[in-house]
Chain A
Amino acid sequence: MHLASGEEKLDSMRFGVVVFPGTWSDCDFHYVISEVIRQPVKYVWHRDRDLADLDCVVLPGGFSYGDYLRAGAVAGRSPVVEALPEFLGRGGLVLGSCNGFQILCEAGLLPGALMRNECLQYRCQSTSLLVENAETPFTRALRPGQVLTMPISHGEGKYHADPETLRTLRQNNQVVFRYATPEGQVTRAANPNGSVENIAGIVNAEGTVLGLMPHPERAAESAMGGTDGLQIFHSLLGSLVEDGTFLKR
């Protein structure tokens, strides 16, 4: 790390876990951050606009505001989400999982949209994810071609984007995860919800916002059946160590 004298030593990443009415994965994220990776974490209420003392904001899964109108539609216009562009502008990172991914798309912080699963079923199952982009702050502990196992739990996770947006995503290497077989083959059978091009997770053009339908917080301890989700948290901490000064505290 190259820190100017007098600058605070960066040895921890300060997480904020956003709570909307109807969020259900907030406690799981809080637990993993505080007890498994042992970083400072606090809950952030949906009406809060003050994200000044945070480095990474997590939008967890659930049914924010009952998912009325569309999944994530109301949350996407909430005070805390309106504060995210400014937070990103000063170097913050945003991770949205499941409903969090839906919210980020609804807010326009990620391209595309999520819609009803093609099978019409709510899918709660383990999935295999092919890692495509390992150069984001969320995936730098991984390597491209690696396959992770993480659960999904959603009824509206079919990712949709128009052909031009898909082209841009490919050009900028913004597709981070695709649903695949355990061997890493991207097949129709491995696609649990009908997402276009098996897309399970994407980043924004800057690589500072990750949205994914799977739940990394539910794959963070061996007692939960796997720890692949921890790689995302470890990547974030690795970003802290390697970049040190990337956050303009």
Chain B
Amino acid sequence: MKVRVLVRLKPGILDVQGAAVQRALAGLGFGDVRGLRVGKLVEVDVDAADAAQARARVDEMCRRLLANTILEDYTIEAEPAERLAPPGALR
């Protein structure tokens, strides 16, 4: 079962990478960008009977390795979410 994990810096933690990307965009004429933060997408293909089990396993993976919960929050998408899929992606 394919599971997507989004890892991002917690709100309030300065994202220097995001700030640099935002400045670069401003240099390209995208001065209308009001905020930008860079995170990570981890795609995990895990053996699981159902989405709930897959989610539980990946949650444990996040707590033990995939995210540093001192700095980062994570969200788990147990099924490919519409809003995460690139336009025209095959299902």
With A and B bound together, what is the CA distance between A13 and B66 in angstroms? 37
- Please give the distance in Å from B39's CB to the nearest CB on chain A: 12
CB atoms of A161 and B70 under 8 A apart: yes
A119: B residues at CB distance < 8 A: 16
CB < 8 Å A-B pair total: 32
Instruction: Report the interface size for chain B: residues with CB under 8 A from the other chain.
Output: 11
Cβ-based interface call for A224 (8 A):
no
With A and B bound together, what is the CA distance between A70 and B74 in angstroms? 14
Chain B residue nearest to A115 (CB atoms) is B71
- Please give the distance in Å from A122's CB to the nearest CB on chain B: 13
CB atoms of A162 and B68 under 8 A apart: no
Instruction: Report the interface size for chain A: residues with CB under 8 A from the other chain.
Output: 19
CB atoms of A113 and B16 under 8 A apart: no
Cβ-based interface call for B64 (8 A):
yes
Q: List 21 A-B contacts (CB under 8 A).
A: A69-B65, A77-B64, A106-B68, A112-B70, A113-B68, A113-B70, A113-B71, A115-B13, A115-B71, A116-B16, A116-B17, A118-B14, A118-B16, A119-B16, A120-B16, A120-B17, A120-B20, A160-B13, A160-B71, A161-B70, A194-B14
